[in-house]
Amino acid sequence: MKARLSTDGGARGNPGPAAYGYVLEAEDGTVLDARGQTIGTATNNVAEYSGLVAGLTSAVELGLDELEVVSDSELMVRQMTGVYRVKNEGLRQLNLEATALARKIDRVRYRAVRREQNELADRLVNEALDAAAGR
């Protein structure tokens, strides 16, 4: 089954209270899974990778065989496609974890988009952060 995984992560402060969000959609737009979750204090990049790992985990559990990953984190997309090396030790483990999960799916493509094109995943991040802050 083909699907799209939209991921996002954010921190209020860098580092600061952080959360990730992801939306996993079938080709016809049916939402297969969606989640927003806080991860404590972290950097934006750690939050972005945490969303990717969580979304890939869900895709593997659902037995998906083809996945397009969409993210507004150009850094993460370029690291996952091998354009950039992962120099930050804190991101290296998350990158390895995401790579191992992606290998369990027959075909994974990564695409960087503008934040406006990643609206639902972004909203899940902000809802999780707002709920944790008691807003």
The full set of domains in the chain, from first to last, is 2-125 (3.30.420.10)
pLDDT in tens, the chain (135 residues): 899 999 999 999 999 999 999 999 999 999 999 999 999 999 999 999 999 999 999 999 999 999 999 999 999 999 999 999 999 998 999 999 999 999 999 999 999 999 999 999 999 999 999 999 887
Q: Would you tell me how many other CB atoms lie within 10 Å of the CB of residue 65?
A: 13
Strands 31-42, 107-112: pairing kind = unpaired
Q: For residue 23, which of 135, 120, 93, 130 has the smallest C-alpha distance?
A: 120
Are the C-beta atoms of 50 and 56 separated by less than 8 Å?
Answer: no
Residue with tokens 């091998």: 82
pTM for the whole thing? Answer: 0.96
Sign of the dihedral through C-alpha 74, 4, 52, 110: negative
